Structure 1
Amino acid sequence: MKSDVLFTSHATAKNGREGHVKSDDGLIDLDLTMPNSDSDKKGSNPEQLFAAAYSACYDGALNLVASKEKKKIDSTTTADISFLKDSEDNGFKIAATLHIEISGVGQEEAEDLAQKAHQACPYSKATRGNIDVTLNPKAV
């Protein structure tokens, strides 16, 4: 099934995890570094950038799902993206935990909305079956 492209974003990385990443419009222009390296160099990392993107996308999907169900909510989503050693192939992998705070509904409704948003979110769709994603919804 072919999808219609709504827009395409562009970013270029140079020198991998110890390099630099920049978007074509210059809004993202960051040095990259491994968080646990012995270097004094300050910078972001791919997991931090993915956490920002996933949390924003998921929170948008959550609000869309809630509005379609005529529920007025206020939400905050924090993504924890972990960089893991993969024991299966001696390589590396990532895992995600989404901490979702939702006001305006009870805990059961928060859990239901969180699951529905997970089905609708493009990042959740892209990661489904590829990485472990844990949802941690909380009514506040």
Structure 2
Amino acid sequence: MTFKRARPVPLAADRYEFHLDSELDQDIDPHHPQSGAGDYLTWAPESQPSSSDLSPDHTGKGPKDYKRADESILADVVDMLTRHHEIDASDVSVQVEHGEVILTGFVPQRNMKFLAEDVIELIPGVQEISNQLKVPPKNI
């Protein structure tokens, strides 16, 4: 039995249409390790579950009175700023006090200042962001 490689094309949330990839339109043997079988997702749900089939979403609902430790938040902030491909955080200092993230220092471009804030607000436990980053003036 042979298979064709297909690439998923998103239609909507959790729904994909699959198109044969013309560059990869070759027979694939799923039992041969070098054939590339399994490189592409080839399953999509046949029907969307109704809202009555789904349990309520409790994401973000932690135990009563729980607060993340400032050290954990700091580690996540530093990781996010370091890993983000559009942010140069080499001149940025980060402090966390009672869930408030305080950014000081410099970033080369204005969009990095605001992108840093957008990325940090997604981190669990962040209560407030004090963005004191500065963009140095351009020499004309």
Which range, TM-score by smaller chain?
Answer: 0.3 to 0.5
TM-score by length of 1: 0.39
- Higher relative strand content: 1
- In terms of Rg, which structure is larger? 2
Greater length-normalized contact order (CA 8 Å, ≥ 6 residues apart): 1
- Higher relative helix content: 1
